[in-house]
Amino acid sequence: MKRIVRGSILHFVADPATASAGAAWRYWDDGALIVEDGKVARVTDHMALQPADMAAAAIDDYTGKVIMPGFVDAHIHYAQVDVIASYGTQLLDWLERYTFPAERKFADPAHAAAIAEFFLDELLRNGTTTAAVFPTVHKASVDAFFAAAQKRKLRMLAGKVMMDRNCPDFVRDDVESAEADNRELIARWHNKDRLTYTLTPRFAPTSTPAQLALTAQLMREFPDLHMQTHLAENRDEIRWVRELFPDAAGYYDVYAKIGLTGARSLFAHCVHMSDAEFALMAAAGDSIAFCPTSNLFVGSGLFDLKRARAAGVRVGMGTDVGGGTSYSMLRTLAEAYKVLQLNGINLDPMRAFHLATLGGADALGVAEKIGNFAAGKEADFVVLDLAATPVLARRTSIAGTLEERLFALMTLGDDRSVFATHILGEPAYRRDAA
Ligand code: GUN
Ligand code: ZN
């Protein structure tokens, strides 16, 4: 199966923050992405295509649109589809009042399956093709999610949430059941098609040291499993961790001491971190999910991308629905820009779109498979309409440079700007489908 996809094509080969000028991205104003058997064969100028290239190929003509690698959401909770836009609380109250009751419902496989379908539809409508996803404590929630993702041929990371204390009975597990459930789910799902099993202790306050130690033991036993959790999001949470783990030097040290850090470990938020902690994260090879809409909505604080990147920590962008307020990576980049404004940093659009694509893939440890259009990578991509609304169309029409157009897109765009989303080359969503 061969496809030729025509349009303006942009992808990243390095981080614009560190690469020399112009070396971080490639852009073809009238380009052709050639896909064979779901993988990128190459990208070229459309004019340079030969008759042999066109032979027996399906053609997608997206002239006038911008084609980028699919967006990577580094942190999102599929079980919080119905939690989004919950009023009036910060993290710890928000969990008790809205989140745990919503997650309780995922003990029911039919509910989990229905929400998984809604959730994946919504990701594709927003151009997101890979995500690091939190289900719930229930095994059924993981089965439902992975089954829905596998059916759609998506590259996804997820795993059973572990929490064995400081939460209601109806979302609580214990060390023994967590071990048995994880082992069963790893055998069923890990490395099946494009799925990556990801150990998911919710956060330090809801896991006993014994459960965190179990997680570390599983990471040692299965060296290609990933791990995701939350870290240093909210000040009350941090105080609580200090009480619960008096022997740790700080919140990060709780995870580090017990062996949960490393190149396959992903920490959401990291809003309140010292330079020394960022340096330890970089030395360990950890990644961070920066979740600006959530950090603003739940009132957590302002993530400092400059300090994190200066220390050398990998960072991806997370929507963190339902603490976050949008599934859209474009909305998320817009809020990231504003958060960083308040920290005295300008997030230039090239850096922003790198974070949303190759940077996110790198943070999730899947950059060998996705994140740009290097030959041989899986051809997941998004087709963006820079004239999707009257305001965006007008602003784009007077923009002088590619950077200016992309900045308008990330500032003014949302799901309306996603014209199409393709998975392994094949169309999976089209905005104007009848
Ligand atoms: N910390 C622990 N659990 C959660 C969660 O579900 N959402 C967010 N934003 N932070 C958390
Ligand atoms: Zn979260």
Each residue's pLDDT, cut to its tens digit, for the chain (434 residues) gives 899 999 999 999 999 998 887 899 999 999 999 999 999 999 999 999 999 888 889 999 999 999 999 999 999 999 999 999 999 999 999 999 999 999 999 999 999 999 999 999 999 999 999 999 999 999 999 999 999 999 999 999 999 999 999 999 999 999 999 999 999 999 999 999 999 999 999 999 999 999 999 999 999 999 999 999 999 999 999 999 999 999 999 999 999 999 999 999 999 999 999 999 999 999 999 999 999 999 999 999 999 999 999 999 999 999 999 999 999 999 999 999 999 999 999 999 999 999 999 999 999 999 999 999 999 999 999 999 999 999 999 999 999 999 999 999 999 999 999 999 999 999 999 999 86
Nearest CA to ligand 1 atom 7: 323
Question: Which atom of ligand 1 lies at the shortest distance from residue 300's CA?
Answer: 9
Nearest CA to ligand 1 atom 9: 323
Ligand index nearest the alpha carbon of residue 236? 1
Do residues 73 and 328 make contact, with C-beta atoms less than 8 angstroms apart? no
Element holding 156 (H helix, E strand): strand 155-158
Distance between Cα 354 and ligand 2 center (Å): 22
Residues, CB within 5 angstroms of ligand 2 (ion): 268, 320
Is 320 a pocket residue for ligand 1 (Cβ < 6 Å)?
Answer: yes
Contact call for residues 199 and 226 (beta carbons, < 8 A): yes
State the burial class of residue 378 (Cβ atoms within 10 Å of its Cβ: 0-12, 13-18, 19+).
buried
> Could you tell me where the DSSP H helices lie in 62-208?
91-94, 100-104, 109-125, 139-151, 175-189
Residue of 89, 203, 235 to mutate, ligand 1, most atoms within 8 A of C-beta: 203
Instruction: Tell me the C-alpha distance between 407 and 339, whole Å.
Output: 15
Mutate to test the pocket of ligand 1, among 73, 82, 91 (most ligand atoms within 8 A of CB): 91
Q: How far is the CA of 320 from the centre of ligand 2 (A)?
A: 5
* Ligand nearest to the CA of residue 163, numbered in listed order: 1
Is residue 230 in contact with ligand 1, taking CB distance under 6 Å?
yes
Ligand closest to CA 266: 2
